[in-house]
Amino acid sequence: MIVSDIQRKLINDRIGFLFEEELLSEILTTGTIRSFKSEEIIIDVDQNIEFMPFILEGSLKVSREADDGQELLLYYIESGETCAFTLQCCVRESRSEIRATTLEQTTILTIPISKLHEWMGKFDSWRKFILDSYHTRMTELIETIDAIAFLRLDQRLENYIKDQVKLKGSLEIIATHQQIAEDLHSSRVVISRLLKQMENKGLITQKRNKITLTSL
């Protein structure tokens, strides 16, 4: 990969501290930098996985699709992170079981899956990163399951809005009520009612396709 000074700095800033110089050099040589617009699908259900994604800028939403076509939000991926489900598919050489969608304009460093196996046995820092990534994502999945099982929908909605604000670094989030309903595996009518309740309590304000958090 031929990288500009700006791209090299971006890679060093986001993931350079994780790896030794030899591995970082191989990443710069074999990786490919790709840019995606907001709400663009970069990995879809039943897709062959040909690369492992490193998020350099932006963020992703990882979701699971039910038989009826509805989606359930699993977790988010931020700058400097990768996707555990993608890693699993790479190791098993199986098709994707998730959908990864950008939440904003996102820059990704893609690594060929052949390197995933090679570097596991060659670099301790890479092996640690992979294992830590599995642990982080599995912890988030447990939190998602706990939220579905034990939290009321209004609590899950409030957490969802706060997570979006944190990810995007802005008190404003751009999303339709239908999009939020799909992420929380609910209906648009119920989400609209709960958002109106939050607005009446002074927690948020609403405009068309825009929600502003006014109270933490």
Per-residue pLDDT tens, the chain, 216 aa: give them: 556 777 788 888 888 889 999 999 999 889 889 999 999 999 998 888 888 898 999 999 999 887 777 788 888 999 889 887 777 777 677 788 889 999 999 999 998 888 888 898 899 999 999 899 888 888 988 988 888 888 999 999 999 999 999 888 889 999 999 999 988 988 899 999 999 999 999 999 998 889 999 976
Alpha-carbon distance of 118 to 102, in angstroms, equals: 28
Q: What is residue 216's predicted lDDT score, i.e. its pLDDT?
A: 62
Tokens of 55: 């998020």
CA of residue 35 relative to chain centroid, distance: 15
Q: What is residue 70's predicted lDDT score, i.e. its pLDDT?
A: 76
Domain-wise residue ranges, the chain: 5-149, 152-213
CATH class as words, domain 152-213? mainly alpha
Q: What is residue 149's predicted lDDT score, i.e. its pLDDT?
A: 85
Q: What is residue 86's predicted lDDT score, i.e. its pLDDT?
A: 78
Which CATH number is 5-149's, of 3.30.450.20, 1.10.1370.40, 3.10.180.10, 2.60.120.10? 2.60.120.10
Q: What's the pTM?
A: 0.79
Alpha-carbon distance of 172 to 104, in angstroms, equals: 13
Side-by-side strand order, sheet with 71-77: 41-43, 99-102, 60-65, 71-77
Tokens of 43: 């990995």
